[in-house]
């Protein structure tokens, strides 16, 4: 289990919705769950060292409340997500904004700004992160990015 702290504002990251201070997985020292982001609930299902030295893989279940907005952010590695229920508007730098819905998958390249505006119903997402250890799981996207 990781003991490093991580701050989580992403829902995609919710898609997982995770933004943070150290790439371990922001968890509450008491509960072992990711830190709170308004409108987003997430739970780390599995943490694994690797796939290579210096990386960690996180499997995260996330729920995003209706009409919640996940601010633009980046990750120090790849985010792969599958929408289980609900959906919203996904904006990824360098790509057209698109609607995602149950059954859709997405992959966000490392350090690529992205965000999500949720639709009118709760969205449930299963996310896998493969990120560099010792770096924030997610960071706010720079202005203009």
The reported pLDDT for the residue numbered 37 is 64
Ranges of each domain in the chain: 1-145
Structure tokens at 142: 């720079």
Strand 139-140 and strand 105-108: pairing?
unpaired
Q: Decide: 108 and 79 in contact? Cβ < 8 Å.
A: yes
Instruction: Going from the first residue of the chain to its last (145 residues), give the mean pLDDT of each consecutive group of 10, the final group possibly shorter.
Output: 36 41 36 57 92 94 94 92 97 96 96 95 96 87 76
Token pair for 55: 């990386």
For residue 145, the model assigns a pLDDT of 63
Q: Which residues contact 60 (CB under 8 A, 6 or more apart)?
A: 16, 18, 34, 42, 43, 44, 45, 126, 127, 128, 129
CATH of domain 1-145: 2.60.120.10
């Amino acid at each position: 289990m990781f003991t490093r702290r991580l701050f989580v504002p992403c829902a995609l990251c919710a898609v997982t919705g995770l933004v943070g201070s150290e790439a371990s997985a922001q968890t509450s020292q008491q509960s072992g769950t990711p830190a709170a982001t308004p409108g987003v609930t997430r739970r780390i299902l599995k943490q694994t060292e690797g796939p290579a030295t210096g990386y960690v893989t996180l499997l995260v279940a996330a729920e995003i409340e209706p009409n919640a907005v996940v601010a633009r952010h980046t990750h120090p590695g790849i985010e792969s997500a599958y929408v289980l229920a609900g959906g919203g508007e996904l904006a990824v730098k360098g790509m057209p904004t698109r609607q995602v819905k149950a059954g859709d998958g997405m992959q966000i390249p490392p350090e690529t700004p992205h965000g999500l505006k949720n639709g009118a119903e709760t969205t449930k997402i299963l996310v896998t992160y493969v990120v560099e250890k010792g770096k924030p799981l997610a960071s706010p996207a720079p202005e203009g990015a």
